[in-house]
Amino acid sequence: MATEYLHLEHDGKLLLVDKSGNGPVKPQMGRNFVRPGDETIRLPTPEEVEGMGIEWTLRRVNRISLGSFDYIVTYGVPDIAWPENWAWKDSVISDNTVDPLVRESVYRTLHRVVSKVVITNSNNEILMVRASRGFFSGCWTLPGGFVDYGEHPREAAQREAKEELGITIVIPDPLGESGGIVLGDDGAIIQNEIFNEEGINWVSFTYTCQTDLEGQEIIPKEGEIDEARWFSFEKALESAVSKFDISAINRIRSS
């Protein structure tokens, strides 16, 4: 039977307790002298939170497995003004007295940011790729991937097109968000989704770029992309499997 805990977070602060359920408790960044099994800082149980008199609103429920142990972690928004004595969520990472479940729970709340691009040509076709690895191995998707640390999503989409297909594209940047102004409509579509009960949170930026790739040859990256092909909007929608891709293509087609 899975053990249940509460993840209460407000303005980047997290409610933590000691082994006996007393709190709030704050981690100390850099503390590393704990032995395995001696972790003393953990998430509270629903009963412990009730005993503290804290009211909260449900956000979602995740199921987390660590080794042979299963947990149910309920995520809630506490009804408090400012949790002055709670722990900054960033501080749990480098304190070894913090229970691994806390770290895993915080990890689940971090956004995974991906960036993609709908490349269209003068024939009103969309360039799609068939991945050979990753989440969508064997499936057709829009070109794109993870945004690197310190990278603007627009720059990431241009970089991924270069890495995956060997092509250079320029996505319009009418506001100059990633540098100089590039006239045009970038078609930016921002989506957020948690796809399953594991609770990994995805944020997707999808841009548009109209080009016939004059003089450029599409060269799929070996070991990552099996094939690249121009599809009609209808065929692209039939072939796409990503919820983000389908939504972006539909919105661009109807614009």
Query: What is the average per-residue pLDDT within 238-254?
Result: 91
C-alpha dist (Å) from residue 81 to 12, 56, 85: 13, 12, 12
Query: d(Cα 94, Cα 29) in Å, to the nearest integer?
Result: 5
Contact 116, 157 (CB under 8 A): yes
Contact 127, 121 (CB under 8 A): yes
Report the share of the chain in percent with pLDDT over 70: 97
Mean confidence (pLDDT) of the chain: 93
More confident call, 130 vs 94: 130
Query: d(Cα 197, Cα 83) in Å, to the nearest integer?
Result: 28
Report the share of the chain in percent with pLDDT over 90: 78
Is pLDDT above 80 for 255?
no
- CB-count exposure of residue 112 (10 Å: 0-12, 13-18, 19+): exposed
Per-residue pLDDT reduced to its tens digit, 146-195: 999 999 999 999 999 999 999 999 999 988 888 888 988 889 999 999 98
Backbone torsions φ then ψ of 60, nearest 5 degrees: -165, 170
Is pLDDT above 80 for 35?
no
Write down the pLDDT at residue 29: 85
| Domains in the chain: ranges and CATH | 3-109 (3.90.79), 111-253 (3.90.79.10)
Would you place residue 76 in the very low, low, confident or very high pLDDT band (cuts 50, 70, 90)?
A: very high
- Report the DSSP beta bridge partners of residue 19: none
Query: d(Cα 73, Cα 50) in Å, to the nearest integer?
Result: 16
Query: d(Cα 127, Cα 236) in Å, to the nearest integer?
Result: 9
Residue 229's CB is within 10 A of a number of other CB atoms, namely 16
Write down the pLDDT at residue 209: 94
Per-residue pLDDT reduced to its tens digit, 99-129: 999 999 999 999 999 999 999 999 999 999 9
Tokens 């297909």 correspond to 165
Write down the pLDDT at residue 185: 87
Write down the pLDDT at residue 39: 66
Write down the pLDDT at residue 31: 84
The sign of the CA dihedral 189, 192, 196, 201 is positive
Per-residue pLDDT reduced to its tens digit, 209-234: 999 999 999 999 999 999 999 999 99
Tokens 């627009």 correspond to 154
